[in-house]
Amino acid sequence: MYRSRLKGRLDEHVLAYLSSMDEDSSLLHYDIVGSEAHSIMLYEQGLISRDELSRILSALEDAKQISPEELKVMRERYEDVHEAVETYVIERAGMDAGGKMHTARSRNDQVALDLRMKIRDDITSIESAILDLIDVLLLRAEECVDAVMPMYTHLQHAQLGSFSHYLLAYADMLFRDIERLESCYARVNLSPLGASAIGGTSLPVDRERVASLLGFDSIVENSIDATSSRDFILEFCSSLCITMLDLSRMAEDIMLWSSTEFNYVELPDELTSTSSVMPQKKNPCPLELMRARASTMLGVLAAAMGIVRALPSGYSRDLQEGKRLVFDAFRITYESLIIMKQIVSGLIVKRKSMLDAAERSYAIALDVAEQLVQRGMAFRVAHRLVGALVAYAHAHNKGLKELSMEDLNSALHEPLYRDTAELIASILSSVSPEVSLSRRSSKGSPNPREQERMIHARKERSKGYRGMVSTREERLEHTLASLQDMVKSLVMR
């Protein structure tokens, strides 16, 4: 369609190589709606007549019915969805009307528009999926406030904690993922249309009018920036990449803890896969794939950044390659969030195994040392004393609470620890995992009361975000519904 400058048809292999029709199917709807708003503006600015507008809009409305089969045929004929839709409109509305649709517009500002419209919807879908996962985490946390377990650093027992505390940590990370997406939304929700190929137009367009018809907050002002910047894609992909990294760490924990050796949690059967040969197998395959897809996301982000790196200013066809990356990023993250929600919701929590591990653990050591600090001992002395106790207990294959008076006397023979055996015996007799947690008093600790406060605060926060997302969604739906009404009334003359 655009080849009057060039001789002959585009080589068929080159067309297949150039074409973005495959990934463009997810932009079809946005391309049509964007073209409707653009055409209305052209009419309002006196650039096309009322009759031409009606014919264009009626063809665009028909284009909304393009079936998957028709799209397949179009794939073999066009370089991209913009060319396909324009040709479709010209075929129906005639060249005298349809041929005016692309006035004061370029595929460069058009593709940026389509992408921005798709990504703002994607952000809303991802935020809602994150909130669904957060709500399940909070629900499970509520049940697990008193599910004591060892916490790990370096994958070694560190301090005692609770399963709720673990779940809440991920809820907080996911809240930050929402914050990042929210701030990204503000930069995505700007209209590039009217920037033309790179340098604007001599025709009297109203860029703000198109922006407002399509529910954008404003425009991307500079026409070079509007057509050639893709930082909004990089930002979106990196935000999703961070979410996938969060999910991959959760996936890893759950896989580890569902192993026979840990036995802290179990996945419901319907979320696991088995072996074709080993009849006993219950494999956490969805979590393994999530872990791997987090790596795919790293590749997606690196590829997206690589496309923009050192690209000359202005549109280059390289940018087309970024589209499929954005669509992959969305699909991977969205699907993973849904699966993780199901996993957290169905997870069988084995409190007894967790408690047994906590009771067998030396992870209570810091709590014992802090008891000594409370009685006036310097922390560094308490640290050394309890370290010596643990070394003795470990060498004698005992737990701290199993140490007899005799053990304590031999473990604490250094002059520095003189006369502490009785005190230690009384402290050890009073400590237990539950007591340790109830004594933790710092803000954000696994103390059960603190857990309840945190869960409550996060439930409120989740409600607030849901309200914000749905208000924004409703506002956009309302704007687009008004545009649709306008289109309908302009079509029926």
Question: Of residues 26, 35, 108, 432, which one binds ligand ARG by CB under 6 A?
Answer: 108
Stretch near ligand ARG under the rule CB under 6 A, chosen from 264-272, 319-327, 413-421, 422-430:
319-327
Map residues 1-20 to x or -, x wherever contact with ligand ARG holds by CB under 6 A. Answer: -------------------x
Measured between alpha carbons, how far is residue 147 from residues 199, 358, 447 in Å? 63, 10, 11
**Residue from the set 33, 97, 111, 326 that interacts with ligand ARG by CB under 6 A:** 111
DSSP assignment, residue 10?
P
What amino acid occupies position 169?
Answer: A
Which one of 259, 275, 430, 489 is the catalytic residue?
A: 275
Closest CA to 139 of 177, 167, 161, 101: 167
The footprint of ligand ARG on residues 321-340 (CB under 6 A) is 323
CB atoms inside a 10 Å sphere around CB 2: 11
Q: Among the candidate windows 68-76, 161-169, 279-287, 317-325, which touches ligand ARG by CB under 6 A? A: 317-325
432 lines the binding site for ligand ARG (CB under 6 A): no
Place of tokens 């409600």: 463
Of 67, 154, 429, 441, the active-site residue reads: 154
Contact flag: residue 317 with ligand ARG (CB under 6 A): yes
Amino acid in position 42: L
Candidates 51-59, 118-126, 312-320, 380-388: pick the segment binding ligand ARG (CB under 6 A). 312-320
Report helix, strand or coil for 7: coil
Residue 318 Cβ vs ligand ARG, minimum distance, rounded to whole Å = 9
Is 183 assigned a catalytic role? no
275 is catalytic: yes
Using CB under 6 A, which of 35, 196, 212, 320 touches ligand ARG? 320
Distance of CA 381 to the CA centre of its chain: 46
Q: Which of 104, 79, 65 is nearest to 14 (CA)?
A: 79
Residue 38's contacts (CB-CB under 8 Å, 6 or more residues apart) are 101, 105, 193, 210
By CB under 6 A, the residues from 66 to 95 that bind ligand ARG are 80, 82
Query: Are the C-beta atoms of 89 and 62 separated by less than 8 Å?
Result: no
For 239, half-sphere exposure in the C-beta direction (CA atoms, 13 angstrom radius) is 27
Stretch that binds ligand ARG, among 61-69, 295-303, 311-319, 407-415 (CB under 6 A): 311-319
DSSP three-state, residue 366:
helix
105 near ligand ARG, rule: CB under 6 A: no
Kindly list the residues in this chain that would bind ligand ARG in the complex (CB under 6 A). Answer: 20, 80, 82, 107-108, 111, 315, 317, 319-320, 323
Could you give the residue numbers annotated as active site? 154, 275
